[in-house]
Homo-oligomer: A and B are copies of this chain.
Amino acid sequence: MTSPAALVFDAYGTLFDVHAVVERCEAFWPGRGAALSQLWRAKQLEWTWQRSLMRRYVPFSQVTREALGYACEALGLACDDARVAALMQEYLRLATYPEVPDALARLRAGRKLAILTNGSPDMIDPLVAHHGLRFDAVLSVDEIGIFKPAPEVYEIAVRRLGVAAADVGFVSSNGWDALGAKSFGFRVWWINRAAAPLERLDFAPDGQLRGLGELPDALAR
C-alpha cells in the first residue's frame, strides 16, 4: 500500500504529554492530584460529546476551565482564580513525548504534516509555537463548532490539506478518536501507550503502536 500523502496528528496525549498538569494538581492538592486530574479529564471529554450532541458548542478552553471547576466542587477542593490560571497555563507549555521531535523530522519528507485537535486556537497555537514545531496546518474543531469524533471534524483535514481521505494517515492516542477517523475513511495508527483494550466502535485501526517512534517503520511496511 502506498504511503500516506499527509499525516494528521491528534495533539493532547498523542504529541503532548499532559502529565505536567497532573503534577501541578498534586502540588496544589497533595494526595488528591490523581483523583482531581481523572475527574477533570473525564468531564472535559464528556462535555465535548454532550455539547456536540446538544449543538451547544463552546471552545475547548472554556470546557477545560469549567471541567476543572466542576471537579474541584465534586471533590470538595477549594480552587481560586490563581490556581485555575496556573493550571490552564500548563496547557500552553506541555512537554512533547520524548520521541516526538525526531519522529516528526523523519516523517516530514515528501509529506504534509498537520495537527487536528479539539483544542481551540487560544490553547493549541501557543503550545505549538512554544516548541517551535513546524506543521503545514494546525487545525482546530473550533472552525466548525463541533467536537471529535463527528465526521465533519475529520473532513476539515481533507478540505484544508487538499488530500483525499484515503491518502490521509491519522495518528491518535485516543482509541475513540482513532476509530472516529477510521469510520470517516482515514488510514489510522493508534498510539496505544497504555496497552488499553480496543474500543468497541465497529472499526479497528490499521496499526497499533507503543509510541510515535515506531511510525516511520510502520509506514514503510
Tell me the A residues contacting B by CB distance below 8 Å: 42-43, 45-47, 49-56, 58, 63, 66-67, 69-70, 73-74, 146-151, 176, 179-180, 183, 196-197, 199-202
Contacts and interface: CB of A to CB of B under 8 A. Distances in A.
B201 A47 contact: yes
Contact of A66 (B74, B147, B200): B200
A202 B201 CA distance: 29
A181 to B, nearest CB: 10
A21 to B, nearest CB: 19
Contacts of A50: 49, 149, 176, 180, 199, 201
Contact of A150 (B47, B53, B58): B53
B67 A200 contact: yes
A201 to B, nearest CB: 6
- Find the residue from A52, A53, A58, A63 having the highest chain B CB count within 10 A: A53
Contacts of A49: 46, 49-50, 52-53
